[in-house]
Amino acid sequence: MKFTKFIIPILFCILLSSCSYPLLDKTKDSYNPAEPGTDDYSFAEETGLEVLRCLDENDVEGFKTLLSEAAISKPNAEKQIEMLFDFYEGISTSHNEVRSGESGAKFREDHYEYKSIYINIHNILTDEGKRYNLEFYYVLVDSDDPSKIGISEIMFRDDNGDFALRIFANDGRNVYPTTSNATD
């Protein structure tokens, strides 16, 4: 009888602690780019593939939701978006893995006040026989100006690393296509 009195409270404690474990685990899995040590790769991969989907499906409105308010409010934003979608031909059939890295950060005390990442997908092959190297910057956190959160600049590079198309350039030096859309 004493053994049962001892075991039942222990089993009860184990049961209670196992019920709360998933709740703790869910809060750990929530993505907060302002926290130090946050792994941004899953977000970068998802965003990179979403940009590619928008290009493949000619989903201009979906693409606009990924842009920062600052980019969308630029005077010639609509024209730049139109150039991007005119530049990209076909539907992707294969591509390299999505790569990313931190491109800028401002850290204070226990959080980021500013954080941006660089995302690229190279060797995008399309059913039109084109090959593209897509790259863009995404601002994750900006405490001073939240309107800058989102894609801030997007570009395609040729095989030599030169810009074939660059829009919403932070330095104002956009590059627009001349005759060739991509490398063959």
pLDDT 10s per residue in the chain (184 long)?
Answer: 565 665 665 655 554 444 433 333 333 468 899 898 889 999 999 999 999 999 999 999 999 999 999 999 998 999 999 999 999 999 999 999 999 999 999 998 889 999 999 999 999 999 999 999 999 999 999 999 999 999 999 999 998 889 999 999 988 888 988 644 444 3
Asked if residue 25 is part of any domain, the answer here is no
CA angle 69, 75, 76 (to 5 degrees): 100
> With contact defined as beta carbons under 8 Å apart, do 102 and 115 qualify?
yes
> With contact defined as beta carbons under 8 Å apart, do 130 and 89 qualify?
yes
Task: Please count the structural domains in the chain.
Answer: 1
pLDDT at 71: 96
Asked if residue 27 is part of any domain, the answer here is no
CA angle 104, 106, 111 (to 5 degrees): 120
Burial class (CB in 10 A: 0-12, 13-18, 19+), 57: exposed
Asked if residue 13 is part of any domain, the answer here is no
Domain extent, residue 131, equals 41-167
Asked if residue 15 is part of any domain, the answer here is no
